[in-house]
Each structure stands twice: as C-alpha cells, then as structure tokens.
Structure 1
Amino acid sequence: MAEQFDLVVVGGGPGGYVAAIRAAQLKMKTALVERENLGGICLNWGCIPTKALLRASEINHLLHSLDAYGFAADNVRFDFEKVVKRSRAVAGQLSGGVKHLLRKNKVTVFDGHAKLNGPGKLAVTKDGKPVADLETKNIILATGARARVLPGMEPDGKLIWSYREALVPNTMPKSLIVVGSGAIGSEFASFFLNMGAKVTLIEALDRILPVEDAEISAFVNKAFVKQGMTVLTAAKVNAVRKTADAVTVSVEVGGKTQEITADRLISAVGIVGNVEDIGLEGTKVKVERTHVVTDPAGFTGEPGVYAIGDLTGPPWLAHKASHEAIATVEGIAGMHPHHMDVTNIPGCTYCRPQVASVGITEAKAKEKGHEVRVGRFPFIGNGKAIAMGEPEGFVKTVFDAKTGELLGAHMVGPEVTEMIQGYTIARTLETTEAELMNTVFPHPTVSEAMHEAVLDAYGRVIHI
C-alpha cells in the first residue's frame, strides 16, 4: 500500500529541506526523500565546509602578518589534517541540525533515491532495493546539481579534483592549478594560496569572476597577483597530462602555448543539473542544458510537479533555492507569494578579498538603455577599514540617472559579503538614492563606505 502525502520533496538541500519545513508549517502532510546527506551539496560539500576552510586560511594569513599589528610569533605552523577535520565537523554538525528541524516539524524523511512513477507517484529505493511507494498531489524536485566534467579533466580522487576532492584533500599540495575562476574556483585558489601553495588560476574568458562588474574583476585579479598567484585569462587548456605524482597542463594564451606542472589540479568549470534517473521520461517536464525549465511559480508543465534550486535556472545559489522553496510551497498552498526577481538575489564570493554584488553591472545597465550615475568609494578612505588593517577594495553603486533607482551595487574588500544585504533590502523596497543618502550609517564601521558610494554618485561624497 502506497503512503499518502500532501507534498513530497525530492532532495534535502537548502531548497528541499526548506520547502518541506514550510509545507509542514502550513499543515501539509509532508515527506522528504534524500539519497545522501541532509543539507545537500551546500551544507556538506559546498557553502559551509568551504567557509570553514577559508576561515583557516584567513587565520594563517593573519598569523603571518602579525608584525603589522605589533605582535611576533615563532614557528607558526598548521596541521592540515586538523584543518580539514574541523571543516568536516562543521558540516556534520549542521547536517544533524537539519535532521532535527525536519523531525521537529514532523516531516517524514525517507533515506533513498526517489523516481517519478506515474502521475502523483514516486518509487523510493536504496541500493536498488524498494524502500517505499509514495502517492501525493504535489511533488517538488530539488535534486540539485554536480560539477561539470570536461574531457581530459575527469576527477580521479588523487591528482585531479572536483570541489568534493578539494574539500577533503589527503595532502596539502605545494603547487596547484585551478581551471575556472567563478566563485568556486576563486575560493579554492584563494584558500590554497593563503595556506602556502603556489597557485595558477586559469580562465577561458577574458577576465576572472566573469559574472561580476568588470572593475571588481580587475581589482581581484590585481589583488591575486599581488598575493603571488599566477592568473591566466583568455586561456585555452589544450591538454592535461598526468604522471605518478603531478599534473601538467598545456595552455594556450594569446596564441602562445605553455606547459604548467603542479602537484594537483582542481576543475571548477560549472555545474550540470541532476536530471538523470528521476523519472522525467514521458512527462511534460522540459530540460534545457541539463536544467529543468519552470515558470515563475516553479511549475514544470507536468501536473503536480514543481522544481526549484540548482536543478533549475541561474543563479545557482543556496539562498536562491531557499527563497524559491518558500514561494513555491506557498503557491501550492493557495497563497499569493511574490515571484522572485533574480536581480535581487545577492551573490557572494569568499576569496581574499571578498566580493559581493546585487542587481546589474554598469555595462549591463548601459546595454539595457539606462542613463547611469555611478558612485565609487575606496576603503582607504574608511576609518574602520584602516584600523582593521584591511584598507584595500571599494564599493561601487549604479543608479538610473532619471529615476534614482539603485540598479546595482558591487563591492570588493573586508566583510562585504555581510554588508551586501543592505543594498539587497534597498532594492527590494525599491529605494532611491534619496532614502539611501538620508540614512544614518553608524561610525566607525566599514558599512559607511556604502553610504559614501551613494553620495559619490550624486557629487556629494565627503571623505575622498
């Protein structure tokens, strides 16, 4: 006999488990099926453990910069195994927390792989053996995504790593090649560089962090090079050759080919959606470039079937998945949630220096036909940043010159990933430059640079 539910969620990541909890809050009888770890890639193999590692590299950097603050220490060293172990412990703690939240909200959790098995039906298996048959009016697919694999750069668990292997390395490499300079690639490049490795970052496009504003990308590139990283842009990887304990990459830049050898290589060239073996065949669910197509309400075209998170379109971010989860569940419940505006989803990269942005870039604004007013404020003009010893970076704001709409905000520097939410709220509230200029920012804080960047766009900046 099939078990009956009002909603079944397939996938327990930041989209899936949030959807299940919100549905339970709305008094739906809810089930969640997860085949691996509650919390998904983000919590177990992405957002959280990488931040634990990056915190360790930040500490290592500070320990080697003590003289600037009047301190001295001898024989500064680290135990790499403990660094990795702490990262895994953090992920484990939070995965257990998700399990507790689901239990608290009376969500039924099935440990296994779910597959559509006819209208309103799901078959759950574990290691090929039946676990349960489920029937429901509503299904939310939140199966996430995995690393894209390029021919010749298949992860082997030893010399070539995806993000998974890079999170649990069996050794601290002395040298490293990172292919792909998006958020994942730049974060791993920054981590290993600050832990002491010689790092080469390779990007096929003409600049690193290509989705960011061009000025931000250029600043990070310069900062990485200053820190000792080799950065190659507009670079084509022609071949990868492995030996017993090293990787050699043949890379073409500006028509010239060079070979680079390192202990390890990380491939960070994007993601593909987990659309296989979930029963989409014979349904009205449409898949484009490995991702499920949905309308703004998360509906796939197949009656009763919805999709959210990394399985669907960009941006592929955990907080976007969680927001989609709540909106989709509330829509199923007959409520009237606001459909998500993807330009109001902030993006954060936790390299050194940190990068954060929301809205559109200056180039995109001009492409859309906006007459723009642009403000910039460097952290070298901010007292708190100077006191912290982190005066590098700047804040950039882009306004519509006619309406005062904040079209975009782009930041690079200390703790900008914590500050971007201020501009995100401003965009959500449809705030103009007038409200931002008349807002009182506390002193001394790094966030004062946000205020000054707005003032600068209108010729009223004070501290530069």
Structure 2
Amino acid sequence: MPTPTARVVIVGGGPGGYESGLVAAQLGAEVTIVDTEGLGGSAVLTDCVPSKTLIATAELMTDVAGATELGVNLGTRANSADVHVDLARVNARVKQIASDQSDDIARRLEKEGVHVVRGRGRLEGPDAVVVTDADGEPTTIPADAVLLATGAAPRTVPEAQPDGERILTWEQVYDLTELPSHLVVVGSGVTGAEFASAYLALGAEVTLVSSRDRVLPGEDADAAAVLEEVLTRRGMHVLSRSRMASVTRTGDTVTVALTDGRTVTGSHCILALGSVPNTRDLGLETAGVAIDQAGFITVDRVSRTSARGVYAAGDCTGVLMLASVAAMQGRIAMWHFLGDAVAPLDLKTVSSNVFTAPEIATVGWSQEEVDAGEIEVRAVTLPLAGNARAKMQGVHDGFVKLFCRPGTGIVVGGVVVAPRASELIHPVSIAVAESLTADQLAQAFTVYPSMSGSVAEAARRLHRV
C-alpha cells in the first residue's frame, strides 16, 4: 500500500511559517498555512522589510551628507530645506514594497501547492487546529504535525500607551506623512538604535533614551562605542542611564518623563521596549505545549515542543529573534518531522546585523563571552581608516575584528563595523560555519581596493609561524 501523505498544519505565515511550508511541500507533505494578518508576517509587513526600506532612504541621505568630502558640491547641507525627505512618499514606497513582497510569497506558496487559509488558528489537542474566520465560523483541520509560528508583538506598558499618531510602536511609524521635528526614541536596543539612526539621517532632531550605560547593550562593546560616537557627532542627543517613567501627549507635544525627575519633550516618540510572544489563546495548555515565564514556547534544537508532533519556530520561541533564525527553525522542524537529513540549530553560526549608520554585523563567539573566559581565542582588531577603499569613499569609522582558536587557528567569531557590514560579514560567516582557519580565510583572493580586503588583512594578522 502507498504511504499516506503527511498532513502538516502551520499556524502563522511569517518566515518561520512560509519557509517551513515550502520545505514540507518539497518533501511531499500536504501543507496548510493558517495566516492571520498577511503572508510574510511582521517581518515582511511591519518590521524587517519596512524598516530596512526606510533605512535605505536614510543611507542615501547619509551619503549625501558626506558628498562635499568627495568633491561634490550640492550647494547646501543635506538636511536643509533644499535637500529634504518627503516622508509621505518614503512611507508609501515602504508599504508598497512590503505588500509586493507579501504577494510574491503568496504566489510562491500557491505554485508549490501550499494551501493558505485566512483566519486565527488554535490548537485542539496536538493533532488538530481550529481555524476561526472573519465571520467567527470555526473549521477543524486535522494534522499529523503542527508548527506554531505566531511571532511576537511590540511590548507596551501602561505608563506609555501608543496612540498611533505621536506615541508610536515600531509597527506604526509608517503612517507618518511628515518628518518629526523632534523624535524621542525610548529604548537603545537594536530596534531603538536603528530608528534613531535612520531618523537622524532623514533630518529629524533625535533624542535616544537609554536605560543602560551605552547604546546597543547586547552588542559588541567596541562596536557600540563607535556607533555612539558617530551618532553624537552627527547631532543625536543620547541620554544614558535614563529610565523612562511615562510618556504622555498634550496636543502636538509628547513628554517623556524620566525616573530621575527630568523630562524630554518632542513632537513624536517611538517606543522600542522589546517584544512579547503571540502565544495567548493558542490552546497550548490543552495540547500540552510548555511555555516559559515570559510566555515563549519552549523548544529544543530541532524545534520540538513538549507536545509530540507539535513544533514551534520564530519569535514566539524567543530563541533568537531574527527572521533568518525563524526560517531555519521552521525548515529544521519539517526536515526532522518528515525524516530528511537535519542538523540541530547552532546559534554560533548565526550572523546578525544592526542597520544603523555605520552598520554592525556579528557572527560566532562574542567579545563578552571571550572576556568572561567562556572560550580562549586569539583576536585582532583592524580599523577601517587604513583601508584604501574606505579612504576613497570617505569612510573614517569602523573596524574588522576576528577571533580564532589558539593552536588550530580556526575562526570562531567576528565583528564588522562599516557601511554595508551586513554584506562584509559573509566571508567571516562562511569561515565560522565551515571551521576554516584564519590562514584559509586570508589566502582567498579579495579585490583591490575593497572593504572586504580588510577581512583578509585581519585574518593575515592572525597568522602564527
């Protein structure tokens, strides 16, 4: 008798959902994706794609600001009334690109035979999902395996409630039609730093409120120091060790009260207070799916939950909140369930990037872990100031940092601070993933002159006779 076709039901249409759906369909499963807010999820519709599209305009303004050094006379300052950003057009483009990307995903899923159902999904035990449509009508879909990829949402607090007009979460900024005259960003993690950097380049006055002693407390300290120095040099007000007590609005003025009694007033405020998982009312307890104290679904390295046949991927697991990790968790889940070759998720091979100006890209073991004695390494830091291409492009800030193991010389981590660091980290990511030595990384040809030449040069400096 022929083997019955495996039935896979995926709750959530973000990267963890649609990528796992594509893998399951490729391996012959009957796949249904239950989508609530649009294919691509927050990564495509309200987070990664929109924010990086906005940042693309900010990058251009950063280049314009440095044009004079390269011999281009614009006859004005980049942030003056003569060279300015039409935020309504920028945000219209942002929304269109997000919509187009979502449509592309829908076409790909349809081509691969993945069935998409619009509605809210909820577990009915570990082997069925109940989908409630817009009219409140429920439909039960039986499943041999369920993947939960419901994502996360911006965290808010009672003392700082967004109104969608002047007090905003990062999902609400794309409805702005005019550039804020003074933007206050609360939170100096990745999201806060990216929006603060972007709006500064777009021409707004920006104040960044950080409860920690520096911006990007979770990133490489040397990289964060470079970024903070650049941002303050460009005119940003950074309030370190300043905790928000409340955010209120009076007319067109937003007031951020700090716990030490100070206040900051502006025209708009972006709240970047972290994320909370979308795991409520999913039927997790009934199905036997465990969650942690913060509400994130507990998974192992092949994306299994505590309930047999139920997997989870993406931000709802809290493993590492990156679209690339969500997609990989989803793929791993389907490879595992459907019996294909699979390797457990290895976070030490994940490359990530902070899209500020300059960008900060990292992979592998971190400086913090090295300093804590968790791993012994040899390290080198090479400033970009000596790179010929950097001089040509007017790039003064940034560096390449590499870590390798003593004895073997195997590359185990790296940091790049530079324009387009998200591209420059790739050779380091390959070295880490494939356990290449610093010598092997150094001996690959690079173009001269190029920024990537600094990656090879840093590797050469780790050579030991």
How does the TM-score come out when normalised to structure 1? 0.94
2:228 aligned residue: 221
Is the 8 Å Cα contact of residues 115 and 279 (structure 1) preserved in structure 2?
yes
2:127 aligned residue: 120
The answer to which of 187-196 and 232-241 deviates more is 232-241
CA distance in 1, matches of 2:308, 2:375: 40
Instruction: Give the Å deviation of 1:456.
Output: 3.0
1:66 aligned residue: 67
CA distance in 2, matches of 1:232, 1:120: 51
One-letter amino acid of the structure 2 residue matched with residue 314 of structure 1: V
Is 1:321 the counterpart of 2:321? The answer is no
2:206 aligned residue: 199
One-letter amino acid of the structure 1 residue matched with residue 274 of structure 2: G
Is the 8 Å Cα contact of residues 377 and 456 (structure 1) preserved in structure 2?
no
1:400 aligned residue: 405
One-letter amino acid of the structure 1 residue matched with residue 184 of structure 2: I
CA distance in 2, matches of 1:60, 1:366: 37
One-letter amino acid of the structure 1 residue matched with residue 185 of structure 2: V
CA distance in 2, matches of 1:346, 1:16: 21
CA distance in 2, matches of 1:157, 1:240: 13
Partner SS state of residue 356, structure 2: coil
CA distance in 2, matches of 1:63, 1:446: 20
One-letter amino acid of the structure 1 residue matched with residue 154 of structure 2: A
1:301 aligned residue: 306
Partner SS state of residue 282, structure 1: helix
The one of 213, 218, 224 aligned to 1:211 = 218
Is 1:417 the counterpart of 2:422? The answer is yes
Alignment of 1:112-261 (within 5 A): 112-130=119-137, 132-252=139-259, 257-261=261-265
CA distance in 2, matches of 1:327, 1:426: 22
Partner SS state of residue 171, structure 2: helix
CA distance in 2, matches of 1:419, 1:343: 18
CA distance in 1, matches of 2:323, 2:334: 17
CA distance in 1, matches of 2:24, 2:170: 32
Is the 8 Å Cα contact of residues 126 and 310 (structure 2) preserved in structure 1?
no
The one of 374, 378, 385 aligned to 1:373 = 378
The answer to which of 396-405 and 111-120 deviates more is 396-405
2:79 aligned residue: none
Q: Which aligned segments of 4 or more residues in structure 1 are displaced greater than 4 angstroms?
A: none
Alignment of 1:425-464 (within 5 A): 425-458=430-463
CA distance in 1, matches of 2:376, 2:350: 23
2:78 aligned residue: none
CA distance in 1, matches of 2:363, 2:202: 30
Is 1:7 the counterpart of 2:3? The answer is no
Note the alpha carbon deviations across 1:336-362, whole angstroms, 9 max, x for none: 311111121111011111110011222
Note the alpha carbon deviations across 1:359-378, whole angstroms, 9 max, x for none: 12223123244333211111
1:52 aligned residue: 53
CA distance in 1, matches of 2:295, 2:177: 32
Note the alpha carbon deviations across 1:291-332, whole angstroms, 9 max, x for none: 100111111111211001111133100001111111110101
The one of 273, 276, 290 aligned to 2:277 = 273
CA distance in 1, matches of 2:126, 2:97: 40
Is 1:83 the counterpart of 2:99? The answer is no
Q: 1:307 to 1:245 in 2, by over 3 A?
A: same
Note the alpha carbon deviations across 1:236-292, whole angstroms, 9 max, x for none: 12233321111112225xxx5422101111111111110011111222211111210
CA distance in 1, matches of 2:241, 2:437: 38
Partner SS state of residue 208, structure 1: coil
Instruction: Give the Å deviation of 1:411.
Output: 1.2
Is the 8 Å Cα contact of residues 18 and 40 (structure 2) preserved in structure 1?
yes
One-letter amino acid of the structure 1 residue matched with residue 218 of structure 2: V
2:101 aligned residue: 94
Instruction: Give the Å deviation of 1:76.
Output: 2.2
CA distance in 2, matches of 1:62, 1:336: 46
One-letter amino acid of the structure 1 residue matched with residue 380 of structure 2: G
Is 1:23 the counterpart of 2:27? The answer is no
**In percent, how many aligned pairs have the same letter?**
32
Instruction: Give the Å deviation of 1:458.
Output: 4.4
1:310 aligned residue: 315
CA distance in 1, matches of 2:341, 2:391: 47
CA distance in 2, matches of 1:120, 1:8: 9
Q: Which sections of structure 2, spanning at least 5 residues, go unmatched?
A: 76-81
Is the 8 Å Cα contact of residues 84 and 202 (structure 2) preserved in structure 1?
no
The answer to which of 419-428 and 21-30 deviates more is 419-428
Is the 8 Å Cα contact of residues 439 and 463 (structure 2) preserved in structure 1?
no
Partner SS state of residue 281, structure 1: helix
Partner SS state of residue 241, structure 1: strand
CA distance in 2, matches of 1:168, 1:141: 30
The answer to which of 383-392 and 71-80 deviates more is 71-80
The answer to which of 382-391 and 20-29 deviates more is 382-391
Instruction: Give the Å deviation of 1:220.
Output: 0.7
Partner SS state of residue 37, structure 2: coil
Is the 8 Å Cα contact of residues 382 and 399 (structure 2) preserved in structure 1?
yes
Is 1:292 the counterpart of 2:313? The answer is no
Note the alpha carbon deviations across 1:397-454, whole angstroms, 9 max, x for none: 1222243232320111121111112111111111122212322222121111111222
Q: 1:23 to 1:99 in 2, by over 3 A?
A: same
CA distance in 2, matches of 1:348, 1:88: 22
CA distance in 1, matches of 2:236, 2:462: 33
Is the 8 Å Cα contact of residues 85 and 203 (structure 2) preserved in structure 1?
no
Root-mean-square deviation over aligned CA pairs: 1.7
Is the 8 Å Cα contact of residues 5 and 31 (structure 1) preserved in structure 2?
no
One-letter amino acid of the structure 1 residue matched with residue 7 of structure 2: D
CA distance in 2, matches of 1:164, 1:371: 41
CA distance in 1, matches of 2:154, 2:6: 32
One-letter amino acid of the structure 2 residue matched with residue 419 of structure 1: L
Aligned length, in residue pairs: 454
Partner SS state of residue 146, structure 1: strand
Q: 1:277 to 1:452 in 2, by over 3 A?
A: same
Partner SS state of residue 417, structure 2: strand
Partner SS state of residue 143, structure 2: strand
CA distance in 1, matches of 2:225, 2:450: 25
Is the 8 Å Cα contact of residues 123 and 287 (structure 2) preserved in structure 1?
no
2:37 aligned residue: 36
